[in-house]
Structure 1
């Protein structure tokens, strides 16, 4: 493991140290700092993060439960790889859950939340026109988080966040696929329109189609970028 790839954690929040370490390691996996198949060695990780081995060990266990790490007997912890089946499984569940969230949002969203989603769509459009991919990904994440919040179902929101995080490392590749950013924006607009019209069935249908389209784009983009999807 190369030295000093991770930044020492900062205790500038009220979160427990083990939670800060967990979030730091999860983000490192998502953004590719820790790569699929890489061994997660407690001593080196603890040194880089400036903590003891205990919170690192606890974080690794939690990462295993969430599917980011795999434990191999007599060898240790490794960053989980991802297969074609893994991606398909995540999207299959996510499509159903996003449809549910959109349907609930159509019933429960407030005027303020609807306006916030409209504003996010405008900002996404501006970033697309300026070809700012990183900002598009950021705004897209905020859009979906706003949708989940509007569902008024905390458990559903938590499930969806976890599903998104499992494939977060590939989202830039997906949205960079030719034409996908504009297609996704138009899909978002239709979902918001259905929610605004309180059309539960249509909101569900459009949300499910949006996730299915995202899956197709991601898989094709990954193949074109040389990922070995088995």
Structure 2
């Protein structure tokens, strides 16, 4: 993997985990020292992250973690919910039993996180398994192009959640989110496209309640 790509993945992971706050300045020199690379790969990574909407590059000033207004966040999740709902509806009509069993396995692993008491570990593992759960639904829908667009939207969703100011928001929300997953999973097994789409839209829109109340 090229150094720029490696730096991109490492910095992005920090951003998605809420390692930096909105508006925080990011120094290419300092990041390079932390990652063990020169300034150039970091600059390349920051340009890619800017295209993803995770950082903002200010000419002649530097780079900072992206900041979003409340209306922008609400608009994003409305659009995101519509897309994920469409994908879930398609998955209900195209899914296979083998694919659904794979989804069942991921959902079971999420359910097992209920016994995890460490908020940091619980939030981290849920974020990763949640992405896998939804990626399985994308695979069931068989929409590669839409899935690629959605992947970037999932990055922004994770970023917005974990930079909302709430303390480990995914830790507190895990049980309710898992209940949503189970409802969606049942609709997929029932081949009920309407319910799958509706429940997925509600699930994504419900993300707003996971974030800090003063941002809603």
Aligned match of 1:184 = 177
What TM-score, normalized by structure 2, do the two folds share? 0.85
SS of the residue aligned with 1:167?
Answer: helix
Structure number with larger C-alpha Rg: 1
Cα distance in 2 between the residues matched to 1:129 and 1:50 = 37
CA contact (8 A) 1:109 1:151 kept: yes
Tell me by how many angstroms 1:130 deviates: 4.5
Q: 2:189 aligns with which of 177, 180, 196?
A: 196
* Counterpart position of 1:136: 126
TM-score, normalisation: structure 1: 0.80
Assess, with a 3 A threshold, how the Cα gap between structure 1 residues 72 and 110 changes in structure 2: closer, same or farther.
Answer: same
Deviations 1:55-100 (A, max 9, x none): 2111111111111111223311111123322321221111011111
Pick closer, same or farther for the CA change 1:174–1:90 going to 2, 3 Å: farther
Give the helix-richer structure, 1 or 2.
2
Partner residue, 2:205: 212
The gaps in structure 2 that reach 5 residues or longer are none
1:173 Cα deviation from its structure 2 partner: 3.6
Taking the TM superposition and a 5 Å limit, the aligned residue runs for 1:1-230 are 15-131=1-117, 133-134=122-123, 135-169=125-159, 170=161, 173-177=168-172, 180-215=173-208, 217-219=209-211, 222-223=212-213, 229=215
Alpha-carbon distance, 1:122 to partner: 2.0
Whole-angstrom distance in 2 between the partners of 1:182 and 1:32? 21
Q: Distance in 2 between matches of 1:202 and 1:33?
A: 36
Structure number with higher relative contact order (C-alpha < 8 Å, ≥ 6 residues apart): 2
CA distance in 1, matches of 2:152, 2:158: 10
What secondary structure is seen at the aligned counterpart in 1 of 2:33? helix
Q: Which runs of 4+ in 1 moved over 4 A?
A: 129-132
Number of residue pairs the alignment of both structures matches: 207
1:129 Cα deviation from its structure 2 partner:
4.3
